[in-house]
């Protein structure tokens, strides 16, 4: 049995926290300073965490290795299991050219570039974030906006800023699922609080987008559809995350936002020629005028409809209980850890939800998609294998970061840092989103940030008397605002629109929005920790 210690270094909490923070500092420096590849930074940080656990905390070597292995397995299933299958569905739509049909369908909804930005970057981008995440929305939406005639820089900026509100529930809820796992908090509780924070961003982001596209004139002329879109998105995200399923939150929000936008008459009016001339500095793709058969348009939308339908069916109580019956629980080998109070930690047991997990449901939707789109089974399997190959470095990064997080959590390193950080007292609520923001800005992933800092936030909350669910959620909600300034996302955006080497230009344009919206989130969390906005929490 291994008993976690809070002050293993010279019986000093400060020195112990300093040593415990070394793996995180190494990862952040290698990523942000040295600009090392993310997977090398993750692997180096994992080695550092293992050495600290073994040498400083006295965790037996076999238990250190075992905890890292459990983190890596959790990274593979359910996290990467979701991402791979979701991206596989997207690849099949590209292969059958139904994605092009979808893009043309969006282009015909309105010729107003301000409305197009909301439809493509905010609504469809949220749907892509829900299904795939990990940079896919920025890359795809940037290309689509350029095809609609947007200037490449403006297209990239709009796509980056739009990729905020849906991030916490992206990749079928992967960030909040990870957050619940590493903190030991119930998924429903964490998702519920996040669903009372990020929807507030959704009220603001559409207005920011029309302002980015067309300045004050854009706000003055299109604030009504922008507000309708934001309100519908926020309401659906709140309702789904609190009362339905965290995995469906972004899908419901994206569809509701798009529906509200289409329903507003002002959104369908032809744009003034002056607006099109001043905003669309590029030339729209010629294929936008191509007419697509109604049957093919319906097939283009089918994959997303199938995912919504399958996830909705999975939430029916009888079906949910049946799926949960396949869940298996195992005593994890070579791992026997108790906290300083002598209570066993959750890592001693590994839960494997074979069927009742988002990745398996997306896989089922993918099989149905292959049938609907007419993709031969052999081709579908080849596309799945190609998806794994495309994500090979992301797979290595995620598994190494999750392994690092598990070693830090199970050895007691995260608890030590949490006790030390708790000295901030009431000010911790205001600062907690900043930690998540910083983690995503460096790692480019809300999932990775939650894995790194989630347990730390909960430990600090316990020590300072604040709500663990609130600070854990704040880590994810603050993290979504770091996505637009992460080097990975900036590089993806530049590569997508042909602006290689101009990441610095994009950073200067989006940084003020990232910091400004972060300040708003800090005030929201601080208010929710007090009587001012405490009524918002469940």
DSSP conformation letters of 262-303: HHSGGGGSPPPHHHHHHH--S---GGGG----HHHHHHHHHH
Segment 239-261 mean pLDDT? 91
As a whole number, mean pLDDT of residues 474-493 equals 85
Residue closest to 359 by CA, chosen among 88, 70, 71, 69: 88
Question: In this model, does residue 480 exceed pLDDT 90?
Answer: yes
In the predicted model, what is the mean pLDDT of the chain?
86
- Reference 279, options 289, 269, 271; nearest CA is 271
Look at residue 176 in the predicted model and tell me its pLDDT: 93
The answer to whether the bond into 38 is cis (omega within 30° of 0) is: no
| Residue 373 reports pLDDT greater than 90 | yes
Lowest mean pLDDT among 204-213, 362-371, 418-427: 418-427
Q: Which helix (H) or strand (E) holds 330?
A: strand 328-331
Instruction: Assess whether pLDDT exceeds 90 at residue 472.
Output: yes
Classified as helix, coil or strand, 350 is strand
φ, ψ of residue 331 in degrees (nearest 5): -75, 120
pLDDT of residue 46: 93
Range with lowest mean pLDDT among 30-34, 378-382, 471-475: 30-34
Residue whose pair of structure tokens reads 């059958």 in the numeric block? 96
**Whose CA is closest to 481, among 151, 140, 204?**
204
Mean pLDDT value of segment 330-355: 85
| Contact by Cβ (8 Å): 90, 132 | yes
Whether residue 75 is predicted with pLDDT greater than 70 in this model: the reply is: yes
Asked whether residue 346 carries a pLDDT value surpassing 70, the answer given is yes
> Any idea how long the chain is?
538
The pLDDT value given to residue 501 = 67
Give the mean model confidence (pLDDT) for residues 512-538.
Answer: 92
Q: In the chain, pLDDT over 70 holds for what percent of residues?
A: 94
Residue 233: CA atoms inside 13 Å, Cβ hemisphere, count?
Answer: 36
Kindly state the average pLDDT of the residues 98-115: 81
**Distance in angstroms (rounded) separating the CA atoms of residues 164 and 199:** 10
| Averaged pLDDT, 358-375 | 90
* Token output for 460: 């600090």
pLDDT at residue 132, rounded to an integer: 67
Name the token pair of 190: 């964490």
Note the pLDDT tens digit of each residue in 26-63.
887 887 677 777 788 889 989 999 999 999 999 999 99
For the cut 80, the answer to whether the pLDDT of residue 338 exceeds it is yes
State the DSSP H helix or E strand holding residue 114, giving kind and residue range, or none if neither.
helix 113-117
pLDDT at 289 over 70: no
CA distance between the termini of the chain: 37
pLDDT band at residue 409 under the 50/70/90 scheme: confident
Average pLDDT over residues 462-485: 91
Position 118 scores a pLDDT of 94
Place of tokens 């049938």: 371
Cα 249 from Cα 259, distance rounded (Å): 15
Most confident of 220-224, 270-274, 376-380: 376-380
262 CB-side CA count, 13 A: 14
- What mean pLDDT do residues 411-431 have? 79
Residues linked to residue 394 through DSSP beta bridges, in sequence order:
none
Rounded average pLDDT over 208-237: 93
> Contact, 167 vs 133, CB < 8 A?
yes
How far CA 305 is from CA of 131, 244, 310, 525, in Å, comes to: 12, 17, 9, 34
Confidence of residue 162 (pLDDT cuts 50, 70, 90): very high
Q: What pLDDT is attached to residue 443? A: 64
Structure tokens at 45: 């940080």
Residue range 118-139: average pLDDT? 83
pLDDT at 203: 94
103 has a pLDDT exceeding 90: no
Of 137 and 123, which is predicted with more confidence?
123
Average pLDDT rounded to a whole number, residues 63-79:
88
* pLDDT, position 134: 65
Dihedral, CA of residue 407, residue 409, residue 413 and residue 414, to nearest 10 = 140
Q: Which of 63-67, 252-256, 454-458, 468-472 has the lowest mean pLDDT?
A: 454-458
Rounded Cα gap, residues 269 and 344, in angstroms: 62
496 pLDDT more than 80: no
Please tell me which of 7-11, 75-79, 107-111, 263-267 the model is most confident about, judged by mean pLDDT: 7-11
For residue 192, which of 230, 239, 231, 234 has the smallest C-alpha distance? 239
What is the reported pLDDT for 286? 62
Q: Which helix (H) or strand (E) holds 352?
A: strand 349-352
């Amino acid at each position: 049995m291994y008993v976690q210690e809070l002050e293993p270094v010279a019986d000093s909490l400060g020195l112990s926290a300093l040593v415990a923070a070394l793996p995180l500092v190494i990862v952040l420096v290698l990523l942000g300073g040295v600009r090392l590849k993310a997977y090398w930074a993750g692997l180096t940080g994992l080695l550092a965490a293992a050495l600290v656990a073994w040498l400083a905390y006295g965790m037996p070597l076999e238990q250190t290795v075992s905890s890292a292995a459990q983190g890596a397995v959790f990274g593979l299933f359910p996290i990467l299991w979701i991402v791979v299958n979701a991206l596989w569905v997207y690849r099949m739509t590209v292969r059958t050219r139904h994605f092009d049909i979808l893009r043309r369908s969006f282009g015909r909804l309105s010729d107003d570039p301000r409305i197009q930005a909301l439809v493509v970057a905010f609504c469809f981008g949220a749907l892509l974030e829900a299904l795939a995440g990990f940079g896919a929305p920025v890359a795809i939406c940037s290309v689509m906006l350029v095809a609609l005639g947007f200037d490449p820089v403006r297209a990239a900026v709009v796509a980056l800023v739009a990729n905020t509100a849906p991030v916490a529930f992206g990749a079928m809820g992967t960030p909040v699922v990870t957050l619940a796992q590493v903190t030991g908090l119930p998924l429903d509780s964490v998702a519920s609080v996040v669903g009372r924070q990020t929807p507030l961003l959704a009220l603001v982001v559409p207005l920011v987008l029309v302002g980015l596209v067309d300045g004050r004139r854009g706000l003055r002329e299109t604030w009504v559809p922008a507000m309708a879109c934001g309100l519908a998105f926020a309401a659906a995200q709140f309702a789904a995350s609190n009362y339905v399923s965290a995995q469906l939150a972004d899908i419901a929000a994206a569809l509701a936002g798009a529906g509200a936008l289409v329903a507003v008459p002002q959104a369908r009016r032809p744009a003034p020629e002056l607006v099109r001339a001043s905003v669309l500095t590029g030339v729209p793709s010629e294929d936008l005028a191509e007419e697509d058969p109604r049957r093919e348009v319906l097939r283009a939308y089918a994959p997303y409809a199938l995912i919504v339908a399958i996830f909705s069916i999975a939430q029916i109580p009888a079906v949910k209980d049946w799926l949960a019956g396949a869940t298996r629980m195992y005593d994890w080998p070579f791992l026997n850890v108790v906290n300083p109070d002598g209570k066993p930690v959750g890592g001693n047991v590994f839960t494997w939800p074979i069927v009742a997990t988002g990745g398996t449901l997306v896989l089922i939707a993918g099989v149905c998609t292959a049938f609907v789109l007419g993709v031969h089974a052999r081709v579908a399997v080849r596309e799945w294998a190609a998806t794994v190959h495309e994500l090979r470095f992301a797979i290595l990064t995620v598994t190494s970061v999750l392994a690092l997080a598990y070693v830090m959590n199970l050895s007691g390193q995260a608890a030590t840092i949490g006790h030390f950080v708790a000295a901030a007292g009431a000010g911790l609520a205001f600062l907690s989103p900043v930690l998540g923001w910083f983690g995503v800005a460096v790692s480019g992933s809300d999932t990775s940030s939650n894995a790194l800092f989630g347990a730390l936030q909960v430990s600090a909350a316990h020590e300072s008397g604040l709500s663990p669910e609130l600070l854990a959620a704040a880590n994810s909600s603050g993290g979504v605002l770091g996505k637009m300034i992460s080097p990975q996302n900036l590089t993806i955006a530049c590569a997508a629109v042909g602006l290689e080497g101009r990441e610095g230009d994009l950073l200067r344009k989006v940084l003020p929005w990232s910091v400004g919206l972060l300040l708003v989130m800090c005030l929201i969390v601080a208010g929710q920790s007090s009587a001012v906005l405490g009524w918002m929490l469940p």
